Amino acid sequence: KERTILINGFSKAFAMTGWRLGYIAAEHEFIEAMNKIHQYTTICAPITAQYAAIKGIYECEEDIVKMRETYNQRRKFIVNGFREIGFDCFEPKGAFYIFPPIKKTGMTSQEFCKKLLKEEKVAVVPGNAFGPSCEGYIRVSYAYSIDKIAKALERIKHFAEKIL
């Protein structure tokens, strides 16, 4: 207990992405030290986010199980889709993003994303947005319905057929 610090958030469990709300459980001395840093970097979490998180904690256990199953299905679907298109893809164990390599296209991640958006109307994030070591990859969210993911994969396949 004295050496444990638990840090977690509500984004994935309660589908609260973008709300930027989390929590820490630790010994009092660690919390005091963290508060000193925190008080100079942010004011507080919005009250609406706090109420939503409380509701999630007390009333959403069944929803969490359903969402976990849904995300698992989406993850497998999108990873297999990228593999079928010809992009090797690591299957993540958390989050709801995949990070397939696009190096074989000969494009930078920035070029790939701009061209995919312009030609196929599919938005993905260039890997270099996460630092130079992530160049040659793209980040793709699977926080959408299977139908939308399938449509995006069709468009990505069409795009890949033109550039590979």
Give pLDDT tens digits for 72-84: 999 999 999 999 9
Does 1 score more than 80 pLDDT? no
Whether residue 91 sits in one domain with residue 52: no
**pLDDT tens figures, 21-78:** 899 999 999 999 998 888 777 777 888 999 999 999 999 999 999 999 999 999 999 9
Same-domain pairing of 52 and 70: no
User: In this structure, is the dihedral angle defined by the CA atoms of residues 80, 86, 87 and 88, taken in order, positive or negative?
Assistant: positive
Quick count: other Cβ atoms within 10 Å of Cβ 82? Answer: 22
Which two three-digit tokens encode residue 47?
């009250």
CA quadruple 147, 148, 150, 154: dihedral sign: positive
Number of domains in the chain: 2
Continuous segment of H or E residues that includes residue 84: helix 61-85
- CA 141 to CA 21: how far, in whole Å? 20
Q: Domain residues for 31?
A: 6-59
Which of 37, 59, 81 delimits the end of a domain?
59
Q: What is the pTM for the complete model shown?
A: 0.77
In this prediction, residues 86-113 reach a mean pLDDT of 95
